[in-house]
Chains A and B, each alone.
Chain A
Amino acid sequence: MPPQRVLITGVSNPLGAEVARRLASRVPSLFGCDVDDPVSALEEMDFVHADTRQSVIGKLVRQLKIDTVVHLAVMVDSSRGERATHETNVIGTMNVLTGCAGPASPVRRLVVKSSQAVYGARPDYPSLLSEEVAGFSPTASPTSRDLIELELLAHDFAVRNPACRVARMRLGYRISRETTLGRYLSLPLVPVFAGYDPRLQLLNEDDAAEAIAAAALGTQEGPFNVAGDGVVLLSQAIAIMGGRPVPLLPPAGLWLSRMAIRSATGVSLPGHLVELLMHGSVIDCSRLQSEFGWRPAHGSRAVMDGFALGLTEEPLESPSPPQEYELQVYLQRRRRGERNGHGTGAPLALTR
């Protein structure tokens, strides 16, 4: 059965907004929740201020009879501290899963956003990582550990609730002016690890949103790798961006290297990116191809070239001022009221 009532958590981040835009025309009713205001008002979507870190999602899901939950309130590339990220990623996901659990739950489909960072990057990994490789490792970076825990929770949920089909989308690294990797690659002089030239695999923003939307509408289960075809070497990426690699960082003392990069360039690299810039990571997307019959339209090289030419998708609409948002809500209510046969005269209080 196609999804009727869809809830998107974390709808205010750029990916969430894009997924909502794509789903708006394909599902009858769409709901979004986030802590922050949405980037742009979407007429077809009802927005609720709700924090996944508190247990309000369960009430929301039952009251609204949600049948599909798209959980995008997962921070992989965040400037916030380790603890805040852990709260959102692990505790937040736990709350969402608890809210969707139980025999009386109306939820039949759950899509969880994860990342390529769940694998980390290690020299003893195979060159292409398939979905089974990810697992607990004591040396994993904090982000990877959070993501592993998050995915374990989602997996347990899927086992305990066979009525609900769970897909975990492991999105590849995306580059834009907002992401750490994008800002790092745009530096004029890029400090790199001496003696390493890792392989990078990148994912276009549109492809990421399309993958999530396709997963929300489908019934495929389990983890899926999502990333562009082919690889770009770090040295290549830097050359495409017009920068110059400076092989200064020593292979040992990663903590010190991170400090040095932060103080010299102002880009604070999280642990999983430091690993990536040393050993590189490439994921095998054949499972996505075989089960969805779809693969990202842009290869890694195309994503890199697009970023260098400034063609990478900016957030499609600039953040709308609050009044515009209120206006959208007013128009939406008014139209729905008309459809239900109520009068249009009821004044609406424009308070926030």
Chain B
Amino acid sequence: MLTDFLQLTVAGLSQGSVYALLAVGLIAVYTVRHIVNIAQGEFAMLAGIGGAWLTAAGMPLILAILVAIFSVILVAIAMERLIIARVKNLTTLFSMIVTLSVSILLQAIMLLVWGPEARGLPRFPGENLLIGGVSIRSQELWMLGALVVVGGGIMLFYEKTRWGKALRACAEQPIAARIVGISPVMASVMAFAIAGFVGAVAGVVSSPIALSLWSGGLLLGLKGFVAAILGGFSSFRAAIVGALLLGVIEAYVAGYVASGLRDGVAFLILILVLTFRTQGLVLKPTAVRV
């Protein structure tokens, strides 16, 4: 019994770490531009499919991953420059409509270029572990590790460094930020580059286990969105905790109740949070609220 419980927890945490990375990407953009980027999940799929395609073409794994991540960052920047930056008076609501169209566009491109079949990267190096009957796949450790290093790194960047604080200042006081010399254009580009980067990392670390599919990004992005809501769309910490909780609850529901209910969990949580506790898991909303 305990073994099963721990096994489900491991699966939930690794899945949750992918949601967490996507939530970090969403918040990274939202805190700078007040844009909810529906195409966040597509960044993950694009990196996964692109990387898988490169490795299938004979490129070494590590190089394929780097090329895939770098390309997705470029895609994210192009998205910001060519589309987002050109929309006047971009409200949060309107930003969702715009980024949803980008999401559909990216899906169509992936479908046309790589076809409708799911692709996966080869497994990253490492041994699968068996601890007390609980099997931990090495790829799951990579997923958790990516969250710690990349997600944690971005969080520290935003909260501790001058650059990160400058980015957030753009959202809170755009005019004042410009007066003190922070370029809003640069800030917006950086925010999207960061979103592309974490999205791509989430995509490549999960691809060996979950495969990447042209149409898989929207649901994945929405799970990240739910996690971001749990973080009040402002707190990285709360969103990461929320994402891990979401992953674990999904695993328990699938294991103990019914696997078909799994994808419903996120949206049930979403409704509950928005109805009863809009600040999500954030304990001190005023300190970080944007």
A and B: partners? no
- State the A residues within 8 Å of B (CB): none
